[in-house]
Amino acid sequence: DAMVIQNPRYQVTQFGKPVTLSCSQTLNHNVMYWYQQKSSQAPKLLFHYYDKDFNNEADTPDNFQSRRPNTSFCFLDIRSPGLGDAAMYLCATSRVLQTEQFFGPGTRLTVL
Amino acid sequence: KNEVEQSPQNLTAQEGEFITINCSYSVGISALHWLQQHPGGGIVSLFMLSSGKKKHGRLIATINIQEKHSSLHITASHPRDSAVYICAVNGAGSYQLTFGKGTKLSVIP
């Protein structure tokens, strides 16, 4: 089945220790998104890629970076995680902008 | 900026009941999405609507563009339907989703 896969499902890191979260898709969609969702809050869009074009939301901290080496994979790098970065990180894809978004299962990040 | 309001915030139903969750928004949109999120889990896209009605299994979603209102119906509810249901909209010409606060549904056997 075509799908969006996120690895790992649970990630524990230490304060200040860089961490990378992974997303892959078999849908061959052009757009990949990264959202941050804190407890009992709505998801917040961090950035998206349209093909190789990177689009950062204005209020996304510099601590968050992303890479998309090919159509299938997209990575979220958190350079120096703080306690406030503990959250669920959701990856989503869509064929083009403003079309249905397909979400992955998420990676729950814990910062110790 | 679009305001997305969902009602009710919390809903408890007996297994087999017909359930309705409502969503209203303040500004014109290009599309409305209904999403499902199980506790501690990722999000599943249920429907994307720009007009009319869609049906998938026991789920039905409707939208009234003039009234800026959408409903999600679940027929013959089941405990496995227990989840948070989220309404989200694309503003006209915008790729960004504006999310409602979600409706937490609990279906009791």
Choose between B42 and A36: higher pLDDT.
Answer: A36
A53 pLDDT band, cuts 50/70/90, is: very high
Q: How far does CA B1 lie from the centroid of its chain?
A: 20
Please, which pLDDT band fits residue A84 given cuts at 50, 70 and 90? very high
pLDDT digits (tens, 9 = 90+) for B43-54: 898 999 999 999
**Residue B87 phi, psi (nearest 5):** -100, 135
Select from A10, A48, A90, A103 the residue whose CB has the most chain B CBs within 10 Å, as the one to mutate to test that interface.
A103
Write down the pLDDT at residue A99: 83
Chain centre distance of CA A14: 19
Smallest CA-to-CA distance from A60 within A93, A85, A92 is with A85
Taking an 8 Å cut-off on Cβ atoms, the answer to whether A42 and B96 are in contact is no
Q: What average pLDDT does the segment A40-44 reach?
A: 88
Q: Which residues of B touch A88 (CB under 8 A)?
A: 42
Closest approach of chain A CAs to the CA of B105, in angstroms? 14
Inter-chain touch A98–B31, beta carbons under 8 Å = yes
Distance of alpha carbon A71 from alpha carbon B24, whole angstroms: 35
Does residue A40 have a pLDDT over 70?
Answer: yes
Q: Of A25, A36, A110, whose CA–CA distance to A72 is shortest?
A: A25
Helix (H, G, I), strand (E, B) or coil at B81: helix
Which has more pLDDT, B95 or A89?
A: A89
Cα–Cα distance measured from residue B46 to residue B34, given in angstroms and rounded to the nearest whole number = 5
Selected residue of B97, B101, B103 to mutate for chain A interface (largest A Cβ count, 10 A) = B97
More confident residue, A58 or A1: A58
Closest partner residue to B41 (CB to CB) among A31, A97, A105 is: A105
Which tokens belong to A19?
């961490």
Beta-carbon count within 10 A of A67 CB: 12
Task: Compute the nearest-CA separation of B75 from chain A (Å).
Answer: 24
Residue A49 confidence (pLDDT) above 70: yes
CB-defined contacts A:B, below 8 A: 46
What percentage of chain B reaches a pLDDT higher than 90?
Answer: 77
pLDDT of residue A97: 84
